[in-house]
Structure 1
Amino acid sequence: MGQSFQDPIAALSAYWSSLNEGRVPERAMVELSAIPSLLPLLLLTAFEQDPFRVRYRLTGTRVDEWNGMNLAGLYLDELNDEGDHGAIAKLMASYRQCHDSAAPVIDRYDWPARSGGFLTVRYGLFPLASNGMVCQCLGIEDYSALPRLYDGVPLSR
């Protein structure tokens, strides 16, 4: 794969599809070194059952910058903030859809901006399997349409 991507979600989709002819690839098939320019935007999550939860295992540097912290080790539902206007619930539903359908989910959520209004974040979720069972997800968030960080602080918080 090339090193420069106009659309990081499309690039990750193409990579994911190439791993197992469009079927859900095993986690062991993913070689992050094959997609170095996407690394800052990636999220590797694990699915847990009873109740269904999403735990962040690895997050890229841009993801951490936009969230103001490293999300690794945290659960998505722990990030629930009354001021998120449904973004966390939408992400949780998308992860659930990705898990249950064993198919990619590409969507967007709106995050409240400090200045009022909303910032729209595009994302893609791509299921990964272990022994044929969907148990993880390789996700990506595209911040290219958002304002730049100001002094390392996201404008969206």
Structure 2
Amino acid sequence: MLCRYDIPLAEVRAGIVHELDAYWRSKRGGKDIPGWSDIDPAEMKRMLPCLFVVEILREPFRVYYRLVGTKASLFRGDLTGRFLDEIEECTVKAREELAGFYRLAAEERRPVFCEDEVTVGGGIQAFFGGIFPLAPEGRPVDRCLAIEDFGATKPKKVATHQRGMHHWWVQRTR
């Protein structure tokens, strides 16, 4: 297995992803999904280091990184102020898959989750993530919160995926 997209939340073995899911659901109120104005970073302090805030642009569909947490930046690089489709450190296949993951969350207006296997210190470890769409009431999704759980893993310990290069962290020199 390399990466599984759109897995059930019940298969996610990452507390921080479940925390963001519970927070996102608590902010819905009577709406199908919360909006950016419903989110309060002060209520998410434990999640912030692993959080991505992205803007969703349409026609053409693009993902723009507004903010990337400190721990996420250690694994992914500082993506703040960059479009996903312009990240040269990332393979074309990985960019397309990740864009499809964001598109699914945006179009279906629901959280989506993934599991990714990486080699860490000679063994395989699963990383879990989730994307949570945001929109003003009755409007298209314009932002997403995304989170990845890297556990206690150190960025320089991540060697490769079980079956080849997939995401950009394995291509970065540490």
Of residues 5, 16, 21, the one that matches 1:13 is 21
After superposition, give the CA deviation of every residue in 1:124-145 in whole Å (9 maximum; x if it has no partner).
Answer: 0000012432110011011117
Partners of 1:94 and 1:120 lie apart in 2 by: 18
The aligned residue for residue 35 of structure 1 is: 44
Q: Which has the higher contact order (CA 8 A, sep 6+)?
A: 2
One-letter amino acid matched to 2:64:
R
Q: Where does the alignment leave 5 or more consecutive residues of structure 2 unmatched?
A: 1-13, 160-169
Partners of 2:96 and 2:25 lie apart in 1 by: 27
The answer to whether the 8 A contact 1:90-1:109 is kept is no
One-letter amino acid matched to 1:127:
P
Partners of 1:43 and 1:100 lie apart in 2 by: 19
SS in 2 for 1:56: strand
One-letter amino acid matched to 1:11:
E
The aligned residue for residue 142 of structure 1 is: 149
Q: Where does the alignment leave 5 or more consecutive residues of structure 1 unmatched?
A: 1-5
Partners of 2:60 and 2:122 lie apart in 1 by: 34
Specify whether residues 45 and 118 from structure 1 end up closer, same or farther in structure 2 by C-alpha distance, changes over 3 A only: farther
Partners of 1:51 and 1:116 lie apart in 2 by: 41
Aligned length: 146
Q: TM-score, normalised by structure 1?
A: 0.79
SS in 2 for 1:125: strand
Q: TM-score, normalised by structure 2?
A: 0.72
Partners of 1:118 and 1:85 lie apart in 2 by: 24
Superposition map of 1:71-90 within 5 A: 71-81=79-89, 84=91, 86-90=93-97
The aligned residue for residue 123 of structure 1 is: 129
One-letter amino acid matched to 1:61:
T
SS in 1 for 2:82: coil
Q: How many angstroms does 1:119 deviate by?
A: 6.2
Partners of 1:154 and 1:73 lie apart in 2 by: 25
Partners of 2:24 and 2:98 lie apart in 1 by: 20
Partners of 2:85 and 2:116 lie apart in 1 by: 16
Partners of 1:123 and 1:114 lie apart in 2 by: 17
SS in 1 for 2:135: strand
CA RMSD in angstroms comes to: 2.8
